[in-house]
Amino acid sequence: MSSPLLPVLPPRLDLEMVAAASRVHPELVRRFVELGLLPARQDGSGRLWFTPAAPELVRRIVRLHADLSLNYAAVALVIDLLARIDALETRRWVIPSGRETPPWR
């Protein structure tokens, strides 16, 4: 006897959960979404949902803005560059040794 497979929903956080985990006001989280700094999905009722990585990203945005006095456009650029660096570092470890080894090793 087989049972129908139930859809598996990815873990998600709502606006209040992200704000509490990030230790910021929910309106600041909403502003980051409006500025395009923080990805979110909106359900049919207009409620925002975030991935589990959202609180860490919010803390990073706040830290870059406060500690380095960057405006939010610069924060977006820095976050994009950091993501690209992470991707390149990951690729570096995947490249097999031998002729394909990058010259910086």
Alpha-carbon gap, residue 96 to 30, rounded angstroms: 43
Indicate the fold that domain 13-94 takes in CATH: Multidrug-efflux Transporter Regulator; Chain: A; Domain 2 (1.10.1660)
Confidence of residue 75 (pLDDT cuts 50, 70, 90): very high
Q: What is the pLDDT of residues 34-44, one digit of tens each?
A: 999 999 999 99
pLDDT the model gives residue 4: 74
Higher pLDDT, 2 or 15: 15
| 6 confidence band (pLDDT: 50, 70, 90) | confident
> In a 10 Å sphere around its CB, with 0-12 CB exposed, 13-18 middle and 19+ buried, how is residue 23 labelled?
exposed
| Cβ-based neighbours of 92, under 8 Å, separated by 6 or more | 102
Edge-first strand order for the sheet with 48-50 is 13-14, 48-50, 41-42
- Domain positions in the chain: 13-94
pTM to 2 decimal places: 0.76
